[in-house]
Structures are given as structure tokens and as C-alpha cells.
């Protein structure tokens, strides 16, 4: 019963994360059109979220001593790497192509499970990721305006690899993956602390590349246009920081621990669907027939992947470390999906 509840909660959090991440482009695009450099928007997004999460970083400061490699890796790959590589890629190749290449991450995680961890992968898992990839191709209309810039494709693939790091490192903190020097299980690092320090390290890594001292800060005091309407730039930035970053990462990391990297990763593919629908509603970018069909195919792929993960009849649910709010993490269920070939991410 606990395992089933944990799985349902994990799926709900994964959906919330996909919706939150999916709204980032809709809020960021007007800021870019108002005069901010894309890399400056990325820096504001990560640095602002790091500032919001700074009390949590102080509360979980013991993680700097206990898990320095995990925190640095999360900041490098899951925060700075994904953002910087994706924005660099779309400067050279169409956004649709870059997004599709980035969302090859579920297939890459499937390969990581099969060839690096040497675990079997079910046919249903492979079919789920195939459906999601085909649906994404329709959602982003990859056949429109494709230009094969080798460096752009490499950068988009680098973003996909960094996204794999996000799912793998998020799962690293699950109870079955955390043991002390003697091999006994110990409490996993609190996800809130991991996210807080990941954002902090990500902001530090992005600063030399973004060079925020050269930013036109006056843009934030003006307004930006969304589908013919004026919106305060600071409000759009707050949306990007609070909803599309802080909330998105919090729900995303916890969902990976409750499900598995594979399942959470395929559900995260819905981010492209959410981004397309929000662009239609808020920016006036209309959906075509193939995009609508593609969205349904992505949903089908996520459902197939979710149902293919084996269910643990008695998998315990562990709470977060003492002294902080309990954050459930499925000890038996999520990692069973990795070990036995659950849904891909």
C-alpha cells in the first residue's frame, strides 16, 4: 500500500515538475525580446533560485562535508550544463531540433542502465521511450527549418548528456544508493539541500560565461510584451525563478527518488508538450495538427513507460533526514525499476 502511494505521489510530482519546467520558455522569451541576452536570462534564473534557496543551503550545510562530489556534480550537470548547452545550441540550430536532441536523454538513460549498470531492460520500456521520441518529433515539428550545424548538434547532445546527469544524480540520493563506509545503509542526503547547493554551484559556474556585470539591468524595470499585452519584466523573472526553477527542481528531484530515473525522465518529456501549449495560449504561437497528435503520442509513451516499471508489493518508504521536513523516497520501488529494467528516462 505504501509503495503504491509513493508511486502515485512520485508520478504527481513528476507531472508538476514537467509543467513547471515547461513554463520557463514562455516567461523567458519576452525577457529576451525585451533586450536581455539569453545567457543573462539563464544566469538570472539560476542565481535568483540560488538566492531563494540560500536558507535551505545554510540549514543543510553539513552536506558540504558529507556529499561534496554529489553537490558539485548536480551544479555542473543538472543546473549549469543543461542550461548553458541548450542555449548555446539554439543559437546555431533550430529550437525544435535542439529540444528533440536534448530529449534523447530518456534513451541515453536507458543505455546507461543497460550498458553501464548492466541491467536488463524490458521491451515495454524501450517501446515507451520510442513513442515519446516520435511524439516529441511531432510536437517540435523537427522537419521545419532543419539545419545541420555540427557544433550545434554536439551542444544539443551535450545538453542531453547533462540531463542524464540530472536524473542519475537525483536517483543517487535514494536510500538504496546511499551506504556508509562499512556498506550499511544510511540516511540519504536531503533533496532540498542538494538542490540548494546545486543551484549555488551552478550560478558560480555560469558567472564567468554570462558576465552579468555587462547586463542591461534597466530591462527588469520595464515591461515585456506577451501576445500583444504588456507584462512587468520583474514579474516574468519571478515566474522563471520561483516556478520554473525552484518549484521545478524540488518536485523533479523528489519524483526521481519516488519513481526511478527512467520513469521520471519519460514523464519529463511532457515539458515539451506543456511549453507548446503555453506558447499557444500566452504567446499566440498556434498548434498545428501534427503537434496535437504528437502531444497525445508523448502522453502514450509516458503511460507505457510508467506501467512497465515493476511494482514492489512491500517496498518501504523512507523519510527525509531528521531535523527537516519528511520527504518520501521509495526505497524498494524506484531502484527496483533500475535494476530490472523499468521505464526509461
Per residue in 169-200, pLDDT tens? 766 655 555 554 445 555 678 878 888 999 99
CB 276 within 8 Å of CB 139 = yes
State yes or no: pLDDT of 84 exceeds 80.
Answer: yes
pLDDT at residue 241, as a whole number: 95
Which pLDDT value is given to residue 242? Answer: 94
Say how many residues make up the chain.
Answer: 345
Cβ atoms of 31 and 236 within 8 Å: the answer is: yes
Query: How confident is the model over 308-320, as pLDDT tens digits?
Result: 654 443 332 222 2
The neighbour count for residue 280, using CB atoms within 10 Å, is: 15
pTM for the full model?
Answer: 0.72
Work out the pLDDT band at 338, boundaries 50, 70, 90: very low
- Is residue 298 within 8 A of residue 270, CB to CB? The reply is yes
Please classify residue 217 by burial: count the beta carbons closer than 10 Å to its beta carbon, then call 0-12 exposed, 13-18 middle and 19+ buried.
exposed
- 3-class DSSP state of 149: coil
Q: Residue 226 is inside which H or E element, if any?
A: strand 223-226
Amino acid at each position: 500500500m505504501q509503495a503504491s502511494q509513493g508511486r502515485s505521489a512520485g508520478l504527481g510530482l513528476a507531472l508538476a515538475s514537467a509543467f513547471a519546467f515547461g513554463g520557463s520558455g514562455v516567461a523567458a522569451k519576452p525577457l529576451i525580446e525585451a533586450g536581455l541576452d539569453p545567457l543573462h536570462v539563464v544566469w538570472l534564473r539560476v542565481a535568483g533560485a540560488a538566492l531563494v534557496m540560500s536558507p535551505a543551503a545554510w540549514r543543510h550545510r553539513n552536506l558540504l562535508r558529507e556529499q561534496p562530489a554529489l553537490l558539485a556534480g548536480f551544479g555542473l550537470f543538472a543546473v549549469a550544463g543543461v542550461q548553458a548547452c541548450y542555449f548555446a545550441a539554439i543559437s546555431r540550430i533550430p529550437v525544435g531540433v535542439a529540444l528533440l536532441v536534448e530529449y534523447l536523454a530518456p534513451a541515453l538513460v536507458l543505455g546507461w542502465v543497460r550498458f553501464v549498470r548492466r541491467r536488463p531492460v524490458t521491451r515495454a520500456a524501450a517501446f515507451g521511450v520510442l513513442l515519446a521520441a516520435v511524439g516529441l518529433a511531432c510536437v517540435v515539428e523537427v522537419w521545419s527549418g532543419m539545419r545541420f550545424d555540427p557544433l550545434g548538434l554536439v551542444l544539443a547532445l551535450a545538453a542531453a548528456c547533462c540531463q542524464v546527469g540530472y536524473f542519475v544524480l537525483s536517483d543517487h540520493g535514494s536510500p538504496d544508493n546511499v551506504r556508509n563506509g562499512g556498506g550499511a545503509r544510511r540516511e540519504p542526503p536531503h533533496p532540498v539541500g542538494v538542490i540548494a547547493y546545486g543551484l549555488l554551484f551552478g550560478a558560480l559556474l555560469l558567472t564567468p560565461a554570462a558576465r552579468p556585470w555587462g547586463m542591461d539591468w534597466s530591462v527588469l524595470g520595464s515591461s515585456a510584451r506577451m501576445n500583444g499585452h504588456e507584462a512587468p519584466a520583474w514579474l516574468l523573472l519571478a515566474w522563471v525563478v520561483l516556478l520554473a526553477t525552484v518549484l521545478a527542481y524540488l518536485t523533479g528531484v523528489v519524483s526521481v527518488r519516488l519513481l526511478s530515473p527512467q520513469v521520471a525522465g519519460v514523464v519529463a518529456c511532457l515539458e515539451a508538450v506543456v511549453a507548446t501549449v503555453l506558447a499557444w495560449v500566452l504567446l499566440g504561437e498556434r498548434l498545428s495538427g501534427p503537434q496535437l497528435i504528437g502531444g497525445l503520442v508523448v502522453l502514450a509513451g509516458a503511460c507505457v513507460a510508467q506501467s512497465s516499471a515493476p511494482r514492489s508489493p512491500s517496498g518501504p518508504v523512507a523519510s527525509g533526514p531528521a531535523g527537516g521536513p519528511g520527504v518520501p523516497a521509495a526505497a524498494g520501488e524506484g531502484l527496483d525499476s533500475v535494476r530490472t529494467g523499468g521505464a526509461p528516462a
